[in-house]
A and B are shown apart, each in its own frame.
Chain A
Amino acid sequence: MIAIIDYGAGNLKSVCNALEKLGQRYKVVFKPQELRSAKKVILPGVGAAGNAMEMLSKSGFKKSIPRLKIPFLGICLGMQLLADFSEEDDVPCLSIIPGQVKKFLSRALKVPQIGWNKVKFVKSSPLTEKIRNESYFYFVNSYYFDSPRKNVIGKTNYGLPFASIIQKNNFYAVQFHPEKSGPIGLQLLRNFCKLC
């Protein structure tokens, strides 16, 4: 069973729909105890970092997520929450993958970035199997994860190159929305579901 963490923010529905389409069993969870029976965990996310951290703290997920040993996937805000710190609302985050979340400051480009952008794979990962390098994924973000190269799996250009796929041990994260990125996005989710 894949646990999808509901922390009050975000649109979980599309992640659920995608897993359903892939024929995966999932459960939307509200309490850390519910993670015990899970084989994998997804932290989806749309919303703001400050509020999200507050919710994770209140519900107890803030303590339990870093201890997880099963495959974990952070999506969009769910990726940014894995960092040390976010400029959005100036909050400390979960400190699972080293890095800072920073705002796009380009003058020439619109913020938020909305639309399909290219992901260049810089390292191989089971998450990107059967996906062509430089494929397009759907992004909606005003902030990006500034991560040390060591953990970067995929990079994307938006004014500057930023990490769009990262991984450290069992923690995987993507800045884009695989659940909204057509067949390629579904393939990425399928790859995640196959991890053990």
Chain B
Amino acid sequence: MLIVPAIDIIDGKCVRLTKGNFSSKKIYSQDPIRVAQNFEKLGAQMLHIVDLDGARIGRPKNMNLILRLRKAIKIPIEVGGGIREFSIAAQYLTKGIDRIVVGTQAIENPLFLKKLIKKFGAERIKVSIDIRGGRLAIRGWQQTSGYDLESFLSKLKSFGIEEIIVTDINRDGMLTKPNFSLLKKIQKRGFTVIASGGISDLQSIKKLQSMGITGAILGKALYEGKIRLSVILRQAQDDAKSDLTKRIIPCLDVKNGRVVKGVNFENLRDAGDPVELGKKYAEEGADELIFLDISASREGRKTMVEMVKRVAKEIFIPFTVGGGIQTVEDIRALLQAGADKIAINTTAVKNPDLILQASKKFGSQCIVVAIDVKNGSRVNDGLVYIKGGSEKTKLDVLQWAKKAARLGAGEILLTSMDADGTKRGFDLPLLQKISRAVKIPVIASGGAGSLKDFKNAFIKGKADAALAASLFHYGIFSIKQVKEYLKSFNIPVRL
């Protein structure tokens, strides 16, 4: 869970209110920038900044200060308070503010919200719902609106808003407990919820965490020293822990049921036998296997089903089969033969509906969309190629990856054609871009040449798995070597 310290500003000073009441103001610091730097030093990963004057009068009053604060720290910040015009929002968002928080205006003028999302993307706009006695509050909490929470939530949903900050005003600044039932109610509607207001002890934080709340905004409890930021951060981190390992996946090219291309194993009776090779890799510690059918003919493909049957009988780790798959029937045949996942590439581009059909029928977990891309690291012109890289499409890689995920792909196998075969490392900017943009796992492919490349794919590229072919086939590194190296950098692997 993300722990987000709040900095509320009145008249250039860092303050806290009680229940949003301006006459209850207590000044904690004359210098909000200093406060922000201090939070950053203690390990905060994000800050929540509110221009309280702005919230009350309807336009920012401390914008310059906030923009200076932005420059003084490195961690992302979100800013709210008085953002009721498009031009104001745009000013913040183009001047380095990572996300803005809108409340009043999202309620009174949904078109404003719609326009913002269109221009800057839903991920940079957060909607804050402030509740007092079951009703939505507006204008710096000075008024209660007549708006109904339920219908407002439906509206937000239809705009594509995913994340909501929920504050129970009657608990804010009260150092009590958060309103768990309210949070749960909004969560049930399918939103990711950031809790705010009344969070004042470790127990509440633990409870929020167990409910699956993704973030907690903390104010008075920190300023009053009721809880220590460093302690909570440690707590939040421990629980956010996952022991899921990064996967190393060898890829085998298969032609007419035989493994081809540079296989260099000693002690194998038959280096071309997919079963024997697969077994060898599984024993070495491969986390999964990918078999890519490069047969050109229909007959060749038929042998693939037979191969899959044999592999499934002998190898008890997951394996993916790809190459030449065109219909739901092709997929069914391979899954029934025992493949765990199916990779589709050209057909997915030509007929995206196949992703939808197949994921509905067999489950997203077995549909891998393979994407081959050139110039992938450029922002807007990484183009997708099909037919084994021989045909250029007009698809932008980022858009295509997002669409594939939306249609039901369970994973993305991302191959950089620029990096492939160079042994100079994975295309890290491309990987990072796609990994961050989709919620499903991304398998890095193309360019592995050194141990460090694998480390970078995971740390810098944020990949979930890394694929390599010749590196393993020629015995340059063993899978075990790669994993031991990764482990020495604290990257979780299965050894």
Report which A residues bind B (CB closer than 8 A). 11, 13-14, 17-18, 20-21, 46-48, 102-118, 136, 138-140, 156-161, 177, 179-183, 185-186
Given A106-B212, A158-B242, are A112 and B316 also a contact pair (CB < 8 Å)?
Answer: no
Scan B237-253; emit 1 where CB is below 8 A from any A CB, else 0: 00111111111000000
Is A11 a contact partner of B340 (Cβ separation < 8 A)? yes
Is B318 a contact partner of A180 (Cβ separation < 8 A)? yes
Is B338 a contact partner of A160 (Cβ separation < 8 A)? no
Q: Which of B54-62, B90-98, B216-224, B360-368 makes up part of the contact surface?
A: B360-368
The residue from A47, A104, A107, A118 contacting B2, defined by CB atoms under 8 A apart: A107
A116–B287 Cα gap in the complex (Å)?
A: 8
Is A21 a contact partner of B214 (Cβ separation < 8 A)? no
A189–B387 Cα gap in the complex (Å)?
A: 42
Is B337 a contact partner of A108 (Cβ separation < 8 A)? no
Is B192 a contact partner of A117 (Cβ separation < 8 A)? no
Is A138 a contact partner of B365 (Cβ separation < 8 A)? no
Write 7 A-B pairs (CB below 8 A) sorted by A numbering: A11-B340, A110-B464, A117-B242, A136-B245, A157-B242, A177-B318, A181-B316
Tell whether B407 is near chain A: CB-to-CB under 8 Å. Answer: no
- Tell me, rounded to whole Å, the shortest Cβ–Cβ distance linking B426 to chain A: 18
Tell whether B411 is near chain A: CB-to-CB under 8 Å. Answer: yes
The residue from B244, B318, B336 contacting A117, defined by CB atoms under 8 A apart: B244
A181–B318 Cα gap in the complex (Å)?
A: 8
Is B239 a contact partner of A18 (Cβ separation < 8 A)? no
Tell whether B494 is near chain A: CB-to-CB under 8 Å. Answer: yes
Is B363 a contact partner of A113 (Cβ separation < 8 A)? no
Given A46-B365, A116-B494, are A159 and B245 also a contact pair (CB < 8 Å)?
Answer: no
A107–B195 Cα gap in the complex (Å)?
A: 14
Is A179 a contact partner of B316 (Cβ separation < 8 A)? yes
Scan B209-237; emit 1 where CB is below 8 A from any A CB, else 0: 11011110000000000000000000000
Residues in B with CB closer than 8 Å to A115 are 244-247, 287, 441, 464-465
- Tell me, rounded to whole Å, the shortest Cβ–Cβ distance linking A97 to chain B: 19
- Tell me, rounded to whole Å, the shortest Cβ–Cβ distance linking A106 to chain B: 7
A159–B245 Cα gap in the complex (Å)?
A: 13
Is A112 a contact partner of B464 (Cβ separation < 8 A)? no
Residues in B with CB closer than 8 Å to A186 are 316
**Cross-chain pair count, CB within 8 angstroms:** 117
Residues in A with CB closer than 8 Å to B411 are 114
Closest to A119 in B: B243
Is B494 a contact partner of A136 (Cβ separation < 8 A)? yes
- Tell me, rounded to whole Å, the shortest Cβ–Cβ distance linking A115 to chain B: 5
Tell whether B174 is near chain A: CB-to-CB under 8 Å. Answer: no
Closest to B312 in A: A17
A110–B494 Cα gap in the complex (Å)?
A: 18
Is A109 a contact partner of B335 (Cβ separation < 8 A)? no
Given A106-B214, A108-B240, A114-B464, are A17 and B363 also a contact pair (CB < 8 Å)?
Answer: no
- Tell me, rounded to whole Å, the shortest Cβ–Cβ distance linking A180 to chain B: 5
Closest to B215 in A: A107
Tell whether B313 is near chain A: CB-to-CB under 8 Å. Answer: yes
A14–B247 Cα gap in the complex (Å)?
A: 21
Residues in B with CB closer than 8 Å to A182 are 282, 316-317
Is B192 a contact partner of A159 (Cβ separation < 8 A)? no
Given A112-B365, A112-B410, A116-B247, are A17 and B313 also a contact pair (CB < 8 Å)?
Answer: yes
A118–B244 Cα gap in the complex (Å)?
A: 7
Residues in A with CB closer than 8 Å to B210 are 160
Closest to B364 in A: A112
Is A159 a contact partner of B366 (Cβ separation < 8 A)? no
Given A14-B338, A115-B245, A116-B247, are A102 and B212 also a contact pair (CB < 8 Å)?
Answer: yes
A138–B441 Cα gap in the complex (Å)?
A: 15
